[in-house]
Amino acid sequence: MAMGETAILQYRGKNYELPVVVGTENEPAIDIRQLRAQSGLITLDDGYGNTGACESAITFIDGETGVLRYRGYPIEELAEKSNFIESAYLLIFGELPSAAQLKEFRKLLSDHEFIHEDLRHNFEGFPPNAHPMAILSAMINAVGCFQSQVVQPSDAESFTVAAARLMSKVRTIAAASYKKSIGRPMIYPRHDLYYTANFLHMMFSKPYQNYEPDPEVVRAMDLILLLHADHEQNCSTSTVRMVGSARANLWAAVAAGVCALWGPLHGGANQEVIEMLSQIHASGQSVESFIIKAKDKHSNTRLMGFGHRVYKNFDPRARIIKQACDAVLKKLGIHDPLLEIAKKLEETALRDPYFIERKLYPNVDFYSGIIMRAIGIPVNMFTVMFAIGRIPGWIAHWREVQTTPNARINRPRQVYQGAVQRSYVPIEQREWAAPQTLSSATASR
């Protein structure tokens, strides 16, 4: 953290000198921690669009130029040369592993791939149509109850085991929740398979028939997980940090992150993209008329998979995914009409002044769903795939919160805009029109 410069804020005839903090990529930020104590002012930033909630050493994004780096390594290089588990290790522990460290981490992932046999019954408590993200969140908390050791974030050995345990079991829970949703028996993990292939095995094998995934399919799935592994202070990661700041345990914080990710404006968007494309395909609606609707504020329709809070030029993950999408579909010999619609939507939107002016570009979700569809992942599992990918990032952020010296519980302030102080009025003296309740609505009929 570089310091030295200051910013001056003038308010009611007084000057307030505020320190400027500069990050390692030269991003300046005004440190307002003492502002309220000195001036009585707080800052208002609805949606935290311009608020640095923490200092972090995990992931760097430059939204203006489309840069994404995990621990300094460009996402393009990692996508080409690394794999999900190695990149997960990098995110969680800060450095790429040596061969021995990677082997040890892979062994830990294998050792912890089972969930406690008693937990199999927990799946029976969910209705068949329960969303797998609801099951995932609930089961992460449930599995956490079976972990008697408290994770020591600063103890390398205990933390490594905890990280591997969570990453490994999440994948088993995810596949089991899918099997539950289709009324099929859960499939045990296979010790001889690496992480992603093992997951696909648990998803698609049957008790009488092993699924042997095409290496291209494994590579594509692994790439999707890698590209989702971290994205600094997004909604779900901020949730994990927020919950973690209360010193909640790793499992509880990650379960909360899953719930945040489920939202359609966040991780749920990949499911929404396929639903949007399928709807356009089924209705025969033209791409042009859909774009007109997406621009109309009254239509309640958005071009899903477009736009990003941070990327205002392009999402580097979307570029990588688009290429992979073409390659996988070609390799598998699949012609997907939804891919054609997606490409036309992209072309049309990128020429349209509405999208150009607002700097709206395809995000990672725009093409990832098409790959997952080609692999055979059901649409309601798309966000679960995102969650499996995001686990290393959440673990890294949870640990960063726990190991930051003097870290405080997260507690934003607000600008109150409600009623000013008033006195309680006994019910028989209240003359204003009360909000309509169910009983008053029934009575008036």
Kindly list the catalytic residues: 308, 365
Which member of 69, 201, 219, 308 binds ligand ACO (CB under 6 A)? 308
Q: How far is the CB of 104 from ligand ACO (least distance, A)?
A: 31
Question: CA 442, CA 445: separation in Å to the nearest integer?
Answer: 5
* Pick 239 or 402: Cβ nearer ligand ACO: 239
Considering only CA atoms, which of 182, 216, 199, 227 is closest in space to residue 79?
Answer: 227
Q: How far is the CB of 51 from ligand ACO (least distance, A)?
A: 13
Question: CA 299, CA 230: separation in Å to the nearest integer?
Answer: 33
Please name the residues in contact with 195: beta carbons below 8 A apart, sequence gap of 6 or more: 84, 85, 106, 109, 167, 168, 171, 222
Q: How far is the CB of 267 from ligand ACO (least distance, A)?
A: 6
Q: Is residue 346 part of the contact set for ligand ACO (CB under 6 A)? A: no
Which member of 106, 190, 309, 343 binds ligand ACO (CB under 6 A)? 309
Count interface residues toward ligand ACO (CB under 6 A): 18
φ and ψ at residue 14, rounded to 5 degrees? -120, 150
Q: Is residue 269 part of the contact set for ligand ACO (CB under 6 A)? A: yes
Q: How far is the CB of 149 from ligand ACO (least distance, A)?
A: 33
In 299-414, alpha helices (H): 316-331, 337-351, 353-357, 365-375, 382-403
Q: Is residue 358 part of the contact set for ligand ACO (CB under 6 A)? A: yes
Which member of 106, 190, 266, 293 binds ligand ACO (CB under 6 A)? 266
Among all chains, which residue has been given the structure tokens 């092993």?
210
Question: CA 380, CA 189: separation in Å to the nearest integer?
Answer: 22
DSSP label at 108?
H
Among all chains, which residue has been given the structure tokens 């404006």?
265
* Residue 371: burial class (beta carbons within 10 Å; 0-12, 13-18, 19+): buried
* Pick 247 or 351: Cβ nearer ligand ACO: 351
Number of Cβ within a 10 Å radius of residue 216 = 15
Q: Is residue 341 part of the contact set for ligand ACO (CB under 6 A)? A: no
Q: How far is the CB of 197 from ligand ACO (least distance, A)?
A: 25
* Pick 187 or 385: Cβ nearer ligand ACO: 385
* Pick 168 or 271: Cβ nearer ligand ACO: 271
Q: Is residue 265 part of the contact set for ligand ACO (CB under 6 A)? A: yes
Of 193-201, 203-211, 332-340, 357-365: span binding ligand ACO (CB under 6 A): 357-365
* Pick 365 or 400: Cβ nearer ligand ACO: 365
Query: Helix, strand or coil for residue 58?
Result: coil
Please name the residues in contact with 304: beta carbons below 8 A apart, sequence gap of 6 or more: 264, 269, 272, 273, 275, 276, 365
Name the residue type at position 348.
T
Structure tokens at 314: 């392009």
The residues in 165-204 that bind ligand ACO, with binding defined as CB under 6 A, are none
Which member of 97, 144, 244, 305 binds ligand ACO (CB under 6 A)? 305
Q: How far is the CB of 4 from ligand ACO (least distance, A)?
A: 32
Which member of 294, 342, 371, 395 binds ligand ACO (CB under 6 A)? 294
Q: How far is the CB of 234 from ligand ACO (least distance, A)?
A: 6
- H or E segment to which residue 261 belongs: helix 250-262
Distance in angstroms between the alpha carbons of the first and the last residue of the chain: 66
Of 50-58, 120-128, 275-283, 302-310: span binding ligand ACO (CB under 6 A): 302-310
The residues in 359-418 that bind ligand ACO, with binding defined as CB under 6 A, are 360, 363-365
Q: Is residue 304 part of the contact set for ligand ACO (CB under 6 A)? A: yes
Q: How far is CA 51 from CA 31, 259, 342, 403, in A?
A: 10, 23, 34, 22
Q: How far is CA 119 from CA 137, 186, 206, 242, 251, in A?
A: 14, 12, 20, 28, 15
What is the number of the residue whose Cβ is closest to ligand ACO?
Answer: 307
Q: How far is the CB of 366 from ligand ACO (least distance, A)?
A: 7
> Per-residue x/- marks for ligand ACO, 109-148, CB under 6 A?
----------------------------------------
Considering only CA atoms, which of 262, 261, 264, 198 is closest in space to residue 394?
Answer: 261
Which member of 307, 389, 392, 393 binds ligand ACO (CB under 6 A)? 307
Question: CA 89, CA 97: separation in Å to the nearest integer?
Answer: 7
Binding site for ligand ACO (CB under 6 A): 265-267, 269, 294, 302-309, 358, 360, 363-365
